[in-house]
Structure 1
Amino acid sequence: MEFITNEFLDINNIKKILVDIKFHEVTKNLQQVAAGKLPLPDCLSVEEISDIRDIFGWFCEVRPQEILKMLESVFSAEQNQTFDGPNWDGYKVIAAIERLIHADLKTKQRFVVLLMSYIFYEEFHYPQPETGVYDIAGNKFDQLKWVYRYWFNQLEVPEKGSELKSFFASQDVNIMVKEPTSIVIPPIPQEMWKRSLSLSCGGDLLAVDVLTPKNTTHLFDDITDFYSSADIVSANLESTIDDDKPFGRMEVKGKPFIMNTHTSMFHKFRNDAKINFFSTATNHAMDLGEDGVLKTLSVLKKSGAYYSGTAASEAEQEDVVVIEKNGLRVALLAFTFDLNGYKVPDNAPYMVNEVRFNDICPDYSLIEKQVAIAKAKGAEHIVAYCHWGWEFEMYPHVNIVKAAHKVIERGVDTILGNHPHVSQPAQIIERPNMPPALVIYAFGDFVSYHPNSRNSKLAYLVKFDIVSYFGAKAAVTNVRALPIYIVNAHLDADNYDCRIVKFENVLKNPDGYGLTELEKNQLPHLRDKVWNEILSPLVAVTKNC
């Protein structure tokens, strides 16, 4: 999901947001920034940091009307005007304001987003509990927060008071099912007492922008040994595939960007990465309407891949995917929390499996129905691919954790989640008289281009076995995780080297992948804070790779 920033980052919208603000109550944060006591994002230049501190300090000394006057000057079309206002700190602050007035639009927007993030500090810096119906597509303030988290600060804290940080730090996803140590005599062939298959999964496939065939020659080379060697190789197809429409991101007034992937990139997913199952229930599923869904399904069907989450008919929706391998049957379901403000046609509610996980009161009846169908088809293990959560937040919300338990209670055995465009932790849900359920909240990006988001560049893949001994309930075992780094190195003009590489290789040789100096400087943070701390439940199972 991305937004047209010009639609909400304009002076009229900013003035509406600020109209009821009591500036004397929010100047404390601005003063702390000015004094260097509150940190600014590490992606800012030294000059930007200096100018922001000067201007924020000046804001604390003038009347609110002067702040609004200054912001109007910043967004004025007159590029040659000078600033005429109170002079708090002599020439220095006036020069900082004039530099901002003469800057390009993106720089001005970045400044305003940062200003909002310190005026509305709690709302921008901490996850906010959902209190009703999720609707970021229709909420300009939430869109401002989204831009802040994408451009500057992927939230690395959970909801206040949730204790989720310590909860996830305590999780152990190293599930191992013991193989029987002795077999009755005479020996029984293994296929009679052990049935198993392997499943691997990655995050969002969002091949737009620079992700074209010419820029992705070696896209999967470094990870196929781990990822592509499973019986079921899966990922989340987060765009339509319609070659009759423009490739990439398309602007639509009042809506998030439409995302459309070219068939040539889909073929790379199938042929190079060997992906044979795609979850298609995402917030972008209805981007190109009913026709876009049908054309995407046509491409999937012609490729021979399995898919779940969208359907061309009610019968197709109810014919849930059950894959049989080595005598073991596994069902693969997929659901999305939202459709970016679009709706499925009234006469075709089957087109997308929508279960509004983010809402305060989701309806799980569709999951119950599909679980029942899967069991009727003989499924012994049910996997649900859940598209849910909030983008650029490193921890799931409390209500998403509750939703995971609700989904498991309805008969799902494993949850593979995604959507936030950053990775989130995992957990085990214990079940009485049943094998434990594995929940991955978010793998993060996979094939995507989010150059402004530091934490989107680190993601992970997971591979595990589903096994049944002597006809017992099938269970997840031998969980393995592979941290990956998403490289989109700019070579020249419109030429890039886009590839997915093992994170350990980037740490060993940061100069070998065309990373910018900023990206290289961010690697220790990704290793220490993101992987070893926030994603610590996965760290133990990297040893199993």
Structure 2
Amino acid sequence: MKHYHFTIRKSKGIAYILLFVVFSLLPLLSTAQQSIRDINKSTLDAQPYPCLFADTVRPKTATLLFVGDLMQHGPQIKQALQPDGSYRYDECFEQVKPYIESADLAIGNLEVTLGGEPYQGYPCFSAPDDYLWAIKETGFDVLTTSNNHCLDRGKKGLERTLLMTDSLGFHTLGTYRDDEERSQRYPLVLTVNGIRVAFLTYTYGMNGFEVSEPNVVNVIDKAMMEEDIRAAKAMHPDVIIAIMHWGTEYRLEPDSYQRHYAEWLLEKGVDHIIGGHPHVIEPTEWVKEEGRIDPHLVVYSQGNFISNMSLPNTFDGTMITLSIQKVGLVTRISNYDCKVVRTTRPNYKLTIIK
């Protein structure tokens, strides 16, 4: 290793010269430094650098509202029928409409087809088109269509339902005319107030009906779901939410099937789960994961939002509002609100009971 030694030779003559040069330059250096300070100050004042830095940490918030099953049984259809042959539902949603309209994004499960006349309820649902108009006017933005009643009117019913929802500007997910449409529209990723939200949805089955080609229905299948979760991640969302149609009807607790798939979905990268199908309210759980700031939300069943069911506990459903907040690279649920909504008789008005 080389060592460098610096030797300073003493010389009075050279020292005097150096001192003269330094003192001569001091005024210039002082002026230059002052100019630099002035330039820097004016540049910072003129350019929005502080705002640019602040934008990276300024919180972004989006409110997502979820409801359960939007159903239409025979008595509901009869009640809505008007003398001129039209159907009116505006009074049904009157009390809940302000909450739904105020959300940045409102999501519901459309558990009927819009298969055209004759209109009927259970067991093979086909609701009037006016019902969909009322849902739109109430403020809903997104409808899931993969549920056990999506094939109640076969291929025609599935495709006509999509025709109607498309015509009214809904975002839908769960059923598709063909594979190409599915690849273009699914996973559904929406940007809400600067937050990218990916939605997935699946059903346990279709009441024994077979899908007619080339139609596609999202069913609970691990191979399909794992591929879809990968596709969702590739779209760089801030949060992934799975809306699941699963469970045992009228059961007040989640069954082993729901618990198994909830755990599996979270392991694969889903952030939160919203469930339905049992037609009753089931528990909500917050699941902590080691190394994760935000716990996972698992809603096993929201119950019915509107229906004519009369079995115990089927009158009520939940209306859940999530405030999703993003600060920098961290996205979390900053607020959770749950209201219980009851379908009252005989006019099927939705009433918030708590």
* Common fold: TM-score over 0.5: yes
Provide Cα deviations, 1:82-123, integer angstroms capped at 9, x if missing partner.
xxxxxxxxxxxxxxxxxxxxxxxxxxxxxxxxxxxxxxxxxx
- Which of 210, 230, 233 pairs up with 2:106? 233
Rounded to whole Å, the distance in 2 between the matches of 1:201 and 1:449 is 20
Rounded to whole Å, the distance in 2 between the matches of 1:191 and 1:284 is 45
Whether 2:256 is the aligned partner of 1:391: answer no
Q: In structure 2, do the counterparts of structure 1 residues 190 and 210 end up closer, same or farther at CA, with 3 Å as the change threshold?
A: farther
Residue identity matched to 2:60: R
2:64 touches 2:105 (CA, 8 Å); kept in 1? yes
- Which of 93, 113, 121 pairs up with 1:220? 93
Q: CA deviation at 1:190?
A: 5.5
2:68 touches 2:276 (CA, 8 Å); kept in 1? yes
Provide Cα deviations, 1:139-195, integer angstroms capped at 9, x if missing partner.
xxxxxxxxxxxxxxxxxxxxxxxxxxxxxxxxxxxxxxxxxxxxxx95655575322
Provide Cα deviations, 1:329-385, integer angstroms capped at 9, x if missing partner.
10111100011011113x43x610011xxxxxxx31211111122222222211111
- Which of 298, 303, 325 pairs up with 2:168? 303
Rounded to whole Å, the distance in 1 between the matches of 2:195 and 2:103 is 15
Rounded to whole Å, the distance in 2 between the matches of 1:365 and 1:193 is 39
Q: What does residue range 140-539 of structure 1 map to in structure 2 within 5 Å?
A: 186=50, 189=54, 193-212=58-77, 213-214=80-81, 216-243=89-116, 245-249=117-121, 257-271=123-137, 273-318=138-183, 319-320=185-186, 321-345=188-212, 347-348=213-214, 351-355=216-220, 363-434=221-292, 435-451=294-310, 453-472=311-330, 474-489=331-346, 497-504=347-354
2:72 touches 2:121 (CA, 8 Å); kept in 1? no
**TM-score of the two chains, using structure 1 as the length reference:** 0.52
Rounded to whole Å, the distance in 2 between the matches of 1:333 and 1:316 is 15
- 2:3 is matched with none
1:283 touches 1:339 (CA, 8 Å); kept in 2? yes
- 1:12 is matched with none
Residue identity matched to 2:295: P
1:195 touches 1:327 (CA, 8 Å); kept in 2? yes
1:203 touches 1:461 (CA, 8 Å); kept in 2? yes
1:367 touches 1:410 (CA, 8 Å); kept in 2? no
1:405 touches 1:429 (CA, 8 Å); kept in 2? no
Provide Cα deviations, 1:482-502, integer angstroms capped at 9, x if missing partner.
01111122xxxxxxx121001
3-state SS of paired residue (1:406): helix
1:368 touches 1:411 (CA, 8 Å); kept in 2? no
1:364 touches 1:407 (CA, 8 Å); kept in 2? no
Give the structure with the higher percent strand: 2
Rounded to whole Å, the distance in 1 between the matches of 2:240 and 2:180 is 20
Identify unmatched segments of 5+ residues in structure 1.
Answer: 1-184, 251-256, 356-362, 490-496, 505-545
Rounded to whole Å, the distance in 1 between the matches of 2:345 and 2:136 is 21
1:200 touches 1:228 (CA, 8 Å); kept in 2? no
Rounded to whole Å, the distance in 2 between the matches of 1:311 and 1:432 is 37
Rounded to whole Å, the distance in 1 between the matches of 2:298 and 2:189 is 20
Q: CA deviation at 1:210?
A: 2.5
Moved beyond 6 Å, runs of 4+: none
Identity of counterpart residues, as a percentage?
A: 25
3-state SS of paired residue (1:442): coil
3-state SS of paired residue (1:269): helix
2:145 touches 2:172 (CA, 8 Å); kept in 1? yes
Identify unmatched segments of 5+ residues in structure 2.
Answer: 1-48, 82-87
Rounded to whole Å, the distance in 2 between the matches of 1:429 and 1:325 is 25
1:458 touches 1:503 (CA, 8 Å); kept in 2? no
Q: CA deviation at 1:480?
A: 0.4
Provide Cα deviations, 1:434-461, integer angstroms capped at 9, x if missing partner.
221101111111121113x131112211
Count of aligned positions: 294
Rounded to whole Å, the distance in 1 between the matches of 2:251 and 2:118 is 30
**TM-score of the two chains, using structure 2 as the length reference:** 0.79
Rounded to whole Å, the distance in 2 between the matches of 1:238 and 1:470 is 38
CA-based RMSD of the aligned residues comes to 1.9
Rounded to whole Å, the distance in 2 between the matches of 1:191 and 1:269 is 37
1:208 touches 1:260 (CA, 8 Å); kept in 2? no
Larger Rg: 2
Rounded to whole Å, the distance in 2 between the matches of 1:237 and 1:352 is 14
Give the structure with the higher percent helix: 1
